[in-house]
């Protein structure tokens, strides 16, 4: 009954978010907007056998087959709205109002899957925690910036992830594994959490003796094979698997994205540049790198002057090493209540140590951690800081002047809502604990009401406040002081400062999550 009564209220929250998204329709959109429009055109105009070979545009199809079929489904309606949208050749860079409204609205409607995912995860919680989760997920400023201004379908994909987690939490492992397999066929970058899923399902779902366990493992394996066969089978039939894989994994791209994602490799790059500068000053002959960090062919380029070169294999091994403690805990004690933490930690490892990481990938762990944030005061403090840092790291995506007030207001409003929400939750928890202590003492015949005890109220301490103040300093430098003091010199410094400073916060989050997992397991 609790879950059913909360659904209308959740729909109201979603409607408010959708209203804001509708108001953002005329705002700036990135090249991803044309990427997805072109995918609508090529999946509508070409036979399936040509999808991953098409080079009509530079924005070639590089998502897995289920997402390509999702675009094909949307193209049916796009053709009804405006045939020019799905015209492969004449529609290149088409910017008519019809395509803008159509694509923006498809993102809003696809967020219904995110709505359902968060509903299933929160339906049995008390109203305060449930409302908090809705604020953190449905009104996420990061999702608004990335999906509804910059333009992508992350809410739709994260909805699949939350659905999968919800079934695992309920103990319905087969369904949870099925949904995750489907998600991987929509976007392969979610595979970072696959080791966690594998270990957890192996130990939790396949338990109960050799025969019973092997039988369940066979069922799970057959289900996963069936999902991938349905997605990739047609391309296997046409002999195109190598081409599909080549498009999905373009390892020729550099270690970092065009705007450095705030992860470990930012420190590595800065250290290499600092050492090279110092050694040149000392008289050593240090050759300049032959390629940038954001492009070039792996094996043919040497972007580092001093430190060892980083390859995709290096990052893969580093991610696995970061994941190892979590995998050990999942093997020893596979608890459904911890699965959201483990999955979020896996995506944090992928973000911190991965190859060519996009700054937008921080949503992969920020959204699942929203479910965890209401569990304890420590989780709430951590999430408050992480959510702000993650959102601020996305600011460079919206670089045009007219969008500046939007991203600032979204972050400020979200921070205020989080602060009051967490404060209300832990004040309520404190009162509830005191009432419980009073009841216990009165029932024991003590007769006196206790005025002590309870939990610490919500706050982030002077270190957290100082770090957030540092974000303000970084922003003031980029917006005002850099131009005033340096003019047009060193234009890369504002972005570099954002990357470095946000990397400090997200690296702290990775360490904090690891310590928390080891403590709770």
The string of pLDDT tens digits covering residues 132-181 is 999 999 999 999 999 999 999 999 999 999 999 999 999 999 999 999 99
* pLDDT above 70 for 291: no
The string of pLDDT tens digits covering residues 182-208 is 999 999 999 999 999 999 999 999 987
Looking at residue 428, its pLDDT comes to 65
- List the beta bridge partners of residue 357: 256
Confidence category of residue 456, pLDDT binned at 50, 70, 90: low
The string of pLDDT tens digits covering residues 25-46 is 999 999 999 999 999 999 999 9
The CA distance from 169 to 165, in Å, is 6
The string of pLDDT tens digits covering residues 59-90 is 999 999 999 999 999 999 999 999 999 999 87
Angle made by CA atoms 376, 381, 383, in degrees to the nearest 5: 95
Looking at residue 258, its pLDDT comes to 61
- List the beta bridge partners of residue 129: none
Phi-psi domain of 356 (left: phi exceeds 0; alpha: psi -120 through 50; beta: other): left
Sign of the CA dihedral with 26 first, then 32, 38, and 39 last: negative
Looking at residue 452, its pLDDT comes to 37
Q: Which residue has the higher pLDDT, 467 or 298?
A: 467
Of 251, 240, 249, 252, nearest to 53 by C-alpha is: 240
Confidence category of residue 5, pLDDT binned at 50, 70, 90: low
Q: What is the mean pLDDT of the chain?
A: 89
């Amino acid at each position: 009954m609790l879950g059913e009564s909360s659904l209308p209220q959740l729909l109201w929250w979603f409607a408010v978010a959708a209203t804001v998204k509708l108001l953002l329709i005329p705002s700036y959109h990135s090249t991803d907007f044309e990427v997805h429009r072109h995918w609508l055109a090529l999946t509508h105009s070409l036979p399936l056998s040509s999808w991953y070979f098409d080079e009509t545009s530079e924005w070639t199809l590089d998502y897995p087959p289920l997402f390509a079929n999702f675009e094909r489904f949307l193209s049916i309606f796009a053709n009804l709205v405006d045939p020019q949208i799905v015209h492969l050749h004449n529609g290149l860079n088409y910017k008519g109002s019809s395509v803008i409204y159509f694509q923006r609205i498809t993102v809003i409607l696809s967020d219904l899957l995110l709505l359902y995912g968060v509903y299933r995860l929160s339906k049995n919680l008390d109203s305060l925690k449930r409302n908090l989760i809705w604020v953190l997920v449905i009104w996420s400023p990061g999702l608004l910036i990335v999906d509804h201004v910059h333009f992508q379908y992350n809410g739709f994909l994260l909805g699949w992830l939350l659905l999968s987690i919800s079934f695992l939490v309920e103990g319905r492992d087969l369904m949870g594994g099925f949904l995750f397999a489907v998600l991987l066929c929509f976007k392969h970058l979610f595979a970072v959490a696959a080791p966690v899923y594998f270990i957890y399902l192996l130990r939790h779902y396949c338990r109960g003796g050799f025969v019973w366990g092997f039988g369940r493992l066979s069922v799970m394996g057959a289900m996963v094979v069936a999902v991938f066969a349905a997605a990739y089978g047609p391309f296997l039939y046409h002999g195109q698997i190598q081409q599909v894989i080549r498009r999905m994994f373009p390892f020729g791209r550099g270690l970092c994205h065009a705007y450095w994602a705030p992860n470990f490799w930012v420190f590595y790059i800065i250290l290499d540049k600092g050492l090279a500068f110092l050694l040149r000053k000392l008289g050593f002959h240090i050759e300049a790198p032959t390629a940038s960090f954001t492009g070039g062919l792996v094996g043919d380029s040497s972007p580092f002057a001093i430190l060892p070169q980083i390859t995709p294999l290096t990052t893969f091994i580093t991610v696995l090493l970061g994941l190892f403690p979590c995998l050990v805990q999942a093997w020893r004690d596979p608890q459904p209540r911890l699965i959201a933490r483990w999955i979020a930690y896996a995506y944090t490892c992928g973000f911190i140590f991965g190859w060519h990481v996009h700054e937008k990938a921080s949503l992969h762990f920020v959204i699942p951690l929203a479910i965890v944030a209401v569990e304890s005061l420590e989780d709430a403090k951590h999430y408050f800081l992480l959510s702000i840092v993650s959102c601020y790291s996305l600011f460079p995506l919206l670089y045009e002047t007219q969008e500046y007030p939007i991203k600032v207001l979204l972050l400020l409003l979200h921070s205020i809502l989080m602060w009051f929400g967490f404060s209300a939750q832990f004040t309520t928890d404190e009162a509830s604990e005191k009432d419980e202590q009073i009841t216990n003492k009165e029932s024991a015949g003590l007769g006196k009401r206790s005025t002590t005890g309870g939990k610490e109220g919500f706050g982030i301490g002077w270190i957290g406040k100082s770090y957030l103040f540092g974000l303000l300093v970084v922003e003031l430098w980029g917006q005002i002081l850099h131009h005033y003091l340096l003019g047009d010199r060193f234009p890369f410094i504002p972005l570099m400062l954002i990357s470095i400073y946000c990397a400090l916060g997200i690296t702290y989050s990775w360490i904090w999550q690891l310590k928390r997992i080891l403590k709770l397991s």
